Structure 1
Amino acid sequence: MASARVVKNIGRMLRKMTAVLLTALLIPAGTAIAAPARMTLSGPTGPYPIGTTELHLTDHDRLDPWSAKPRELMVSLWYPAWPSARPVASQFKPGVADFYDKNFASAGITPGMADFAGTKTHARLDAPRLPGHRPVIIYSPGGGHSRSMGTVLVEDLASRGYLVVTVDHTFTGPVQFPDRTEVLGRGVDNATVMRTRAQDTSFVLDELGARGVDLSAVGMFGHSMGGFTTAEAMIIDSRIDAGANLDGSMDPRAGQAATTGVDRPFLLMGGGLSSGEPHNHQHSDDWRSFWVKSTGWQRDLYLPAAEHSSFTDAQVMLTQLPGLPADKRSAAIGTIDPRRSVTIQRTYLAAFFAEHLEDTHTSLFDRQIYPEAQLIR
């Protein structure tokens, strides 16, 4: 009986080996099965090491329009930290990485092409914070995106001395909670979406204040819908002293920004074309209306060779994917040199917030500095 079992097991192993060999023979010679591409993020340029931690917040005074339960949010804090041997934070939580792996086809990324789960930040998890006053900057991601898709800009601001708070607006982008992952919700009109995102921002500021965070100097910026959210949040919350919109339309059917403007400093930063026209306030109706209605300090920075996703981490990530078709890459992030694009965005954002949150004057907005970036008057 024992020898019969041995013969049976040997036969099973031979069948498995035969299947493996046949599979190998069916693959053309010289063909390699590519592993998911590992990606790196541009290192921050400020003088401080950085740490990060996350908070799970519940607003018991507000029902979520998608779930009809108290509104839940995940946020991350990025801050100047003491040097630490704590683990380096990943860019994406596993559930969010899985979402991007399966839902980035619009940029030409097929499942398994990119190792979203393996991308690391430059921040240490829960590293001890450096003492001192820190102006606060809120980051709001674009619709369909995670708060982690702005890490390249967020880390740089934190390394320059800011407390940067990134907000996931639940059901308008992927977010991993301690007990589950939520993706995109449906059945809610755009006006409700924008109102909810602006209210999320005010709630986060309330929670920060309740935890002893100094809110005497607060800025905000965001990409796409996050830039729109920035303007909408400034309209309903006077605690936000300055804001920036990175390539986000401001549809007057969904919010107030284009018809009322804001009365505090605001930076518009756009790239490429929108509806066939350059995306700046001279050509985009919503931006033009916002520009005319706003009464505070304002500037409009235009990067002609950039595209919509240039203002996210995709600017540096997509260039590291050798299997990505060139036309898909340029449609997403344009033809601008990615390193120059990141440098320009970081430089202007840092100067903007330094001037309006710390009263540090800069001449950067007085004349064109970079050939890739135009100041639109």
Structure 2
Amino acid sequence: MMKALLSLVLAATPASTVTQLSLPPPTGPERVGTVTAHLIDRSRPDPWVASEKVRELMVSIWYPARTVRGHERAGWVSPGVAERINPPGSPYALPVTHGYVGAPPAAGRHPVILYSPGFGIERTSGTVLVEDLASHGYVVVTIDHTHDANFVEFPDGRIATAAIDPPASPDEEETLLEKVVDVRVRDTRFVLDQLRRMPLARTMDLSRIGMFGASMGGTTTADVMLADPRVLAGVNLDGSFIGPILDRDLKRPFLLFGSDGDGEQDETWTKAWDRLRGPRYWREIDGTKHLSFTDFQSLYPQLGLPADQVEPVVGTIDPARSVAVQRAFVRAFFDRHLRHRGGGILDRPSPRYPEVRILP
């Protein structure tokens, strides 16, 4: 999806000079480590490719590091995926993250947050929020939904590609999207089951688990919470709701954090709002668009494209400001509901964040 669009832009012009793309640095006091894990669910076949008899997933774990000395910074995507989306001759170099591969973890046990990306997008697309949370003392586990994501690279070099056929009618589309969400919920619950066996498990406080996601990952978060009481608080970043959350009550804290609706509201948000029976928050950021809640908010404006190509994708808001606002509110929400402290900016309009509107 958007990463495929980005790859077309990156490959558009042969490079005489190469521009290094970058992500904004985390704001927290902790250095950040990161590792990946290959998970195999032998209890079910892959739901999208019939020949694959087990469900394989890739996750990344981001965490506070004791030291990063002697460790290299991780690339934004894995090497095989980088070759697919940024071929030789591109005028751009993909960003390097602020996470250090295999760095030793900081002492203590930290709250855990899961991240689910948008439909057709990889787990790396939320890095600007993920590594910031890790720098403030959270362990964040990002999930690739194989064959839903555009590309997923496994440790042996295999790259799984998107394999969900487009629907032929509106009725088929609704059925398909419900299946997509159901698969994602199953993926996420399997990841939850594996947390105790993962690298860095000793750094995780599994009594304090939250989840957030962008677009399809947002409704995935809500539907996971309905299915699994281990997830105590959730955030939907600008995703329409699909599935059980539209018909069942959710009694745990939830934040709806959306793009500028220009006075229009997503009907599924209105419906889901009435189903939220715990602490609930609905906020929108002026000047943003749907993909403002991904790394593309930072990356797209760096491509040197005209405004009429950039603004429909990531809006008119200053990219650095958009990221800063998102980081502040997402962290405030999890601080309040996983650490039971802070979160005052959630309660009322804040003069520090005048672009954030309280709805409904």
Is the shorter-chain TM-score for this pair beyond 0.5, marking a shared fold?
Answer: yes
State TM-score, norm by structure 1.
0.83
- Structure 2 residue 191 is matched with structure 1 residue 204: yes
Q: In the alignment, what sits opposite 1:285?
A: 267
Q: Deviations over 1:39-69 (max 9, x none)?
A: 1110001110010000000001121111232
- Structure 2 residue 129 is matched with structure 1 residue 153: yes
- Structure 2 residue 294 is matched with structure 1 residue 318: no
Q: In the alignment, what sits opposite 2:155?
A: 178
Return the match for 1:263 from 251, 264, 282: 251
- Return the offset for 1:95: 2.6
SS in 2 for 1:332: helix
Q: In the alignment, what sits opposite 1:352?
A: 333
Q: Distance in 1 between matches of 2:245 and 2:256?
A: 13
Q: In the alignment, what sits opposite 2:74?
A: 89
Q: In the alignment, what sits opposite 1:371?
A: 354
Q: Deviations over 1:204-261 (max 9, x none)?
A: 011002444431000000100111110111111110000000000113xxx1112224
Contact 1:66–1:187 (Cα < 8 Å) also in 2: no
Q: In the alignment, what sits opposite 1:136?
A: 112
Matched ranges for 1:188-203 at <5 A: 189-203=176-190
- Return the offset for 1:97: 2.4
Contact 2:332–2:344 (Cα < 8 Å) also in 1: no
Q: Distance in 2 between matches of 1:113 and 1:197?
A: 35
Q: In the alignment, what sits opposite 1:244?
A: 235
- Return the offset for 1:263: 1.2
SS in 1 for 2:240: coil
- Return the offset for 1:34: 4.2
Q: Distance in 2 between matches of 1:355 and 1:33?
A: 47
* Letter paired with 2:82: A
* Letter paired with 2:306: P
Q: Give structure 2 stretches of 5+ with no counterpart.
A: 1-12, 167-175
Q: Distance in 2 between matches of 1:277 and 1:371?
A: 17
Q: In the alignment, what sits opposite 1:4?
A: none
* Letter paired with 2:210: G
Mark the CA change 1:296 to 1:326 in structure 2 (over 3 Å): closer, same or farther.
same
- Return the offset for 1:100: 3.5
* Letter paired with 1:268: L
- Return the offset for 1:35: 3.7
SS in 2 for 1:241: strand
Identity %: 44
* Letter paired with 2:182: R
Q: Distance in 1 between matches of 2:132 and 2:231?
A: 20
Return the match for 2:33 from 51, 58, 65: 51
Q: Distance in 2 between matches of 1:341 and 1:169?
A: 26
Mark the CA change 1:170 to 1:374 in structure 2 (over 3 Å): closer, same or farther.
same
State TM-score, norm by structure 2.
0.87
Contact 1:365–1:375 (Cα < 8 Å) also in 2: no
* Letter paired with 1:54: T
RMSD of aligned Cα (Å): 1.9
* Letter paired with 2:276: S
- Return the offset for 1:277: 5.2
Range 141-150 or range 186-195, more displaced? 186-195
Q: Distance in 1 between matches of 2:229 and 2:17?
A: 49
- Return the offset for 1:363: 1.7
* Letter paired with 2:75: S
Range 238-247 or range 184-193, more displaced? 184-193
Which protein has the larger Cα radius of gyration, Structure 1 or Structure 2? 1
Return the match for 1:304 from 272, 280, 286: 286
